[in-house]
Structure formats: structure tokens, C-alpha cells
A and B are shown apart, each in its own frame.
Chain A
Amino acid sequence: MGRLSGEKLYEIFARQKREDRFEHIGTVQAPSASLARVYAWQTYDEANWFEMIVAPRDAFEPVNRDESPFTLHPSEVA
């Protein structure tokens, strides 16, 4: 399913215990951060997460590449 207008990709990170590091567990696309939170919680429910956070993909800055694939939607990567 393609992206609707106004939708962004959000990266999801979670940890199962307070002492764990966050792991990247997936992505969702959503029109707002509030819906991204709902979709993330309801989609990635395979574990009893202690904490889950989301951030829009376009908030990430590439470090070692000028044009990182990570900043592009998969459909935009050749």
C-alpha cells in the first residue's frame, strides 16, 4: 500500500527491560506522531515492552553518507 499524502515514515525503538538498550524494531507510516504511537504499539506487540518510542525518519541526520538510503522511503530507493 503506498503512502497517502501527508503520511510520514516513523522509526520505532523499544526495550523490554529498563536496563536494556533500545533496539530498532520496525517502522510505521502515519499522518501524525499521535497515530504513529498507536500504530507502533498495536503493530509491534510481540513483546511485553517496558518502553517504546517513535521518531519521524526525516528527523535522523546521516553521518557518513551525504545521501543515506535510511533517509529515503524504500519505494524511492533504486
Chain B
Amino acid sequence: MSPVDTAAGWKSAANVPVALHEPLARLLLSLADNKRLLGMRYSEWILGAPTLEAGIACSAMAQDEWGHGRILYAMLKDFDRDPGQLEHERGSDEYLSSELLDTAPGEWPVLLALNALLDTALSVQCQALSESRYTPLHYKMGKLLDEERFHFEHARGWTGRLADTDAGRAALAETYRAALAPCLRWFGRSDGELWTALTEEGVIDGDPDAQRERWIERVGPLLDEVAIKRPSPAGADLDWDGWDEARRRTGSGGPDADTLARVRGDKNRSMLMD
């Protein structure tokens, strides 16, 4: 995609063709929900990470993701969605989050799979929005991607470190292998309506197969380190059984009850007085 012509771009939802409102709002909500939940997963390792520095890194990455989530929820106001309702009042089955985020990562290699594979998938998609014709996205993605650079470096450093031992390599291979298909599917069906319209109109750069290819190029060296064969980027090669295109996930579940209460801030909000 050539650099965005901001003068000709869509400065607000009012300039966006009506037919694109729903797919674009859904894309923003999907990114926001995944970032909000991913931030929570990082935060669960602030204490208990293998080293003090890794705990601090988790804290920084959690704050980054929450910040990105907050920005994306706020952008939905432009599409007549209420960010407060979206952040605090939805049920589990209304979250557009990856199934990988439904439960807390109980082991460090599980968190590293989220860090290396899912976080990178989100970044690849954000990169594909950085020259978006919807200019509010174009303006937000630069700083966000700057911060994400260090998330990937964290994943790369820890992958290399654990891959140095047989036990570490085996543990990572198991969790990376489990996260592979959900991440590949997350980019969507090659012929999905959501993507076809957004790609053709210049909202996003590249169809799902193209984005999968970029993701594989990025995470490929990490997969190599744990001896996982690089997958095909073709959506046609994936198993779509049970896939929910609207929520970009497999299965009808969602964040578990504990996750939902915390991510919505239920306990703290119950103490607020109007």
C-alpha cells in the first residue's frame, strides 16, 4: 500500500461508506478486546516471572497493551459505540478475543506463546493498518508499533534462552505448537466478507493470507529455534471447523468468569458512587 494521502483519507466515521461501518467497528473492537485481555495475561506474571527483570517487562507490556486497548475502545465512539459499555458491561460471549486468552497462562512457556505468537499477530495487523485510509488509525499506529517492537524482542530473547536446553525447547515447542493454529486462523478466512471489503477499500493493507505470510516471516525464526516447521500461510490449509468469523475465534466460549470480572473491573466499580 502506498503512503496514505491524509488529505484524501477518511478523517472520521462520517466519511466512511456506511457499508464499512460494521466491519471497521468490529475490527477495532477485536483488536481492543485482544489487547485488553493480553495485557491482563502479562500482568498475571508481574510477580512470579523467572527473574525480577522479566516481571518488570511483563508490567511494562501489560501497561502498553492496556493503553492500546483504551485508545482502540475510545475510537469506537466515532462509530456510535459507547466505550464505557464496551469496556465494562459485556458478557463473556460478547468479547471478540482469541480463545488463547480465555484462561490464565499457568506456566511461563504458555505466556511466552502469547508473547511470541499472538502479540506478534496483533502487531502484524496493526502494521497493516498503519497506512489506513481511515486516518485516525494511521495516526495511532506509529507509537503503538514502536512499543510493540520491544514485546517481540522480549519474546525472541526468551525463546532463545529456553531453546538452549532440551527441557526448555520441548516446553516451548509444546506451547508454540498449541498456539499456532489459533493465531493463523485469527487473521480470518481468505474470502471472508469482513476482510474483502476492508482490503479493497484501503482500510487494511493485505488480505488474510498476505497478513499470515508476514506473520510467519516474523515468527519463523522463533519457530525454527524450537524445531517447529513453518506453516503454510494459505487459509485453505487450515481447519475452520467451529470458526466464528464475527468473533474471530473457534468455539462459542469466551474469557472465564474470573477473567471477565477482573477485565471489566467489576469489583472496583461496585465501590464507585455516582
Q: How far is the CA of A47 from the CA of B59 in the complex (A)?
A: 17
- Top 3 closest pairs, chain A to chain B, by CB: A35-B157, A42-B60, A39-B53
A-side interface mostly: mixed
Q: How many residues of B contact A (CB 8 A)?
A: 19
Q: B68-76, B148-156, B254-262: which one contacts chain A?
A: B148-156
- A34 x B56 contact (CB < 8 A): no
Q: How far is the CA of A73 from the CA of B130 in the complex (A)?
A: 44
- B161 x A1 contact (CB < 8 A): no
Give, as a whole number of angstroms, the nearest-CB distance from A52 to chain B.
11
Residues of chain A at the chain B interface (Cβ within 8 Å):
1, 4, 6-7, 28-32, 34-35, 37-39, 41-43, 45
Give, as a whole number of angstroms, the nearest-CB distance from B192 to chain A.
35
* A35 and B56 contact, Cβ closer than 8 Å, known pairs A1-B51, A7-B51: no
The interface residues of chain B lying within 8 Å CB-to-CB of A38 are 57, 150, 153-154, 157
The interface residues of chain A lying within 8 Å CB-to-CB of B150 are 38, 41-42
- B157 x A34 contact (CB < 8 A): yes
The interface residues of chain B lying within 8 Å CB-to-CB of A35 are 53, 153-154, 157-158, 161
Q: Which residue of A lies closest to B64 (CB)?
A: A42
The interface residues of chain B lying within 8 Å CB-to-CB of A41 are 150
B160 at the interface (CB under 8 A from A): yes
Q: How far is the CA of A42 from the CA of B52 in the complex (A)?
A: 12
- A45 x B60 contact (CB < 8 A): yes
Q: How far is the CA of A44 from the CA of B50 in the complex (A)?
A: 19
Give, as a whole number of angstroms, the nearest-CB distance from B28 to chain A.
26
The interface residues of chain B lying within 8 Å CB-to-CB of A6 are 161, 164
The interface residues of chain B lying within 8 Å CB-to-CB of A30 are 53, 157
Give, as a whole number of angstroms, the nearest-CB distance from B157 to chain A.
3
- B56 x A39 contact (CB < 8 A): yes
* A31 and B161 contact, Cβ closer than 8 Å, known pairs A4-B51, A7-B51: yes
Give, as a whole number of angstroms, the nearest-CB distance from A37 to chain B.
7
CB contacts under 8 Å to A, within B26-82, are 50-54, 56-57, 59-61
